């Protein structure tokens, strides 16, 4: 059985997506709404409510049960990037560059970023890192590749940073994170994701850099917010401190499956209304 765009709630009419320039212009204005997306049906539902959809390397943990993002490949990101761009018409689609695809050199980063954009139709890439990645960001931007930065808690550096703990909770930790944010903004990133930092630090960075700061676990002082969609919908039992659960989809899914299993076992599903009848003389 085929699935049509109408089944997926995909608007078949062309629509203009938001651009990096338009996102950048939102600095200090109406907060930027961002969520993650990995598949077409979800992207289509998120699209009209969000300004930016991130095809995050969190896909490895959310959809594939990986323990971290480090095993995600560029092929994974391209596959899911394609799926999301099929469902998104208005929101800007950004694809994460996975671990090992940009750190070696700015030339390596360009080759892989260009491949991601050309093979997915996305509008920008995101990469993690601060001062040490500024030259790479500048190189990409100067060659026509919009970049979303990511500083603070950086999941791809989980081993070197000793885990996923929040950063900047003492003042002596602030300077390197501030320097990272400023370096990436000055290098030409159109916005910067700031993850897992104390509120006063988030406010200071947001005030001091000229591009939008999109927070995740960084308070409402930022210019916008992003969450993993499955987290905010309550799909998983574990709930990080910075996540508000706006729904309990996990419980609803389990209830639906339980009801289905019961009806199959007692033969009440499929019912008369779900069953095909004979036609014509054989009816």
In whole angstroms, give the CA distance from residue 138 to residue 133.
Answer: 9
Q: How far is CA 171 from CA 175, 190, 217, in A?
A: 8, 27, 18
Q: Is 58 annotated as contributing to ligand binding? A: yes
Q: How far is CA 56 from CA 26, 67, 216, in A?
A: 22, 15, 13
In whole angstroms, give the CA distance from residue 98 to residue 105.
Answer: 14
Q: Is 225 within a domain?
A: yes
pLDDT of residue 113: 98
Q: Is 219 annotated as contributing to ligand binding? A: no
Q: Express each pLDDT in 187-198 by its tens digit.
A: 999 999 999 999
pLDDT surpassing 50 at residue 14: no
- Confidence category of residue 162, pLDDT binned at 50, 70, 90: low
Residue in 103, 104, 195, 208 annotated catalytic = 195
Residue 155 is part of a domain; what is its CATH number? 3.20.20.60
Could you give the 3-state DSSP secondary structure of residue 39? coil
pTM: 0.90
Cβ atoms of residues 139 and 188 within 8 Å: no
Cβ atoms of residues 214 and 32 within 8 Å: yes
Q: Is 57 annotated as contributing to ligand binding? A: yes
pLDDT of residue 159: 61
Mean pLDDT value of segment 208-216: 98
Annotate 41-80 with DSSP letters as a single string: HHHHHHHTT-SEEEE-TTHHHHTT--SSSTT--HHHHHHH
Q: Is 14 within a domain?
A: no
Could you give the 3-state DSSP secondary structure of residue 228? coil
In whole angstroms, give the CA distance from residue 177 to residue 148.
Answer: 16
- Pick 166 or 125 by higher pLDDT: 125
Task: Name the residue with tokens 């995740």.
Answer: 216
- Confidence category of residue 66, pLDDT binned at 50, 70, 90: very high
Q: Is 55 within a domain?
A: yes
Q: Is 134 within a domain?
A: yes
Structure letter (DSSP) for residue 148: E
> What's the domain count of the chain?
1
Where is average pLDDT lowest: 50-59, 127-136, 164-173, 258-267?
Answer: 164-173
In whole angstroms, give the CA distance from residue 5 to residue 3.
Answer: 7
CA angle 78, 80, 81 (to 5 degrees): 60
Task: Name the residue with tokens 């990096």.
Answer: 20
Q: Is 10 within a domain?
A: no
pLDDT of residue 166: 77
Concerning whether 195 is annotated as a catalytic residue, the answer is yes
Cβ atoms of residues 103 and 30 within 8 Å: no
pLDDT surpassing 80 at residue 3: no
In whole angstroms, give the CA distance from residue 193 to residue 198.
Answer: 14
Sort strands 147-152 and 124-126 into parallel, antiparallel or unpaired. Answer: parallel
Q: Which helix (H) or strand (E) holds 142?
A: helix 134-142
pLDDT surpassing 70 at residue 15: no
Q: Which domain holds residue 128?
A: 20-248
| Residue 20: partners with Cβ closer than 8 Å, 6 or more residues away | 92, 123, 124, 146, 190, 191
Q: Is 283 within a domain?
A: no
pLDDT of residue 1: 46
- Pick 153 or 1 by higher pLDDT: 153
In whole angstroms, give the CA distance from residue 217 to residue 206.
Answer: 14
Q: Is 27 within a domain?
A: yes
Q: Is 256 within a domain?
A: no
In whole angstroms, give the CA distance from residue 227 to residue 244.
Answer: 9
Mean pLDDT of the chain: 92
Angle between helices 174-186 and 199-208 (to 10 degrees): 30
Sort strands 147-152 and 224-227 into parallel, antiparallel or unpaired. Answer: unpaired
Q: Is 126 annotated as contributing to ligand binding? A: yes
């Amino acid at each position: 059985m085929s699935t049509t765009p109408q089944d997926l709630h995909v608007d078949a009419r062309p629509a203009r997506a938001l651009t990096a320039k338009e996102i950048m212009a939102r600095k200090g204005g109406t907060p930027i709404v961002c969520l993650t997306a990995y598949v077409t049906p979800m992207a289509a539902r998120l699209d009209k409510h969000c300004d930016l959809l991130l095809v995050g390397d969190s896909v490895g943990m959310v959809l594939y049960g990986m323990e971290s993002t480090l095993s995600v490949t560029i092929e994974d990101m391209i596959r899911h990037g394609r799926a999301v761009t099929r469902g998104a018409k208005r929101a800007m689609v950004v694809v994460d560059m996975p671990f090992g695809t940009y750190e070696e050199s700015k030339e390596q980063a360009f080759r892989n970023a260009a491949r991601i954009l050309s093979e997915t139709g996305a509008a920008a890439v995101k990469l993690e890192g601060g001062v040490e990645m500024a030259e790479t960001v500048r190189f990409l931007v100067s060659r026509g590749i919009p970049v979303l930065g990511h500083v603070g808690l950086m999941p791809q550096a989980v081993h070197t940073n000793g885990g996923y703990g929040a950063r900047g909770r003492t003042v002596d930790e602030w300077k390197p994170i501030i320097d990272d944010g400023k370096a990436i903004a000055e290098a030409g990133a159109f916005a910067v994701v700031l993850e897992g930092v104390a509120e006063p630090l988030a406010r200071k960075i947001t005030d001091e850099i000229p591009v939008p700061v999109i927070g995740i676990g960084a308070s409402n002082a930022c210019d916008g917010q992003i969450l993993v969609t499955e987290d905010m919908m309550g799909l998983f039992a574990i709930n990080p401190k910075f996540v508000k659960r706006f729904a309990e989809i996990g419980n609803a899914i389990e209830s639906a499956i339980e009801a289905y299993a019961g009806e199959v076992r007692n033969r009440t599903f499929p019912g008369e209304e779900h069953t095909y009848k004979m036609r014509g003389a054989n009816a």
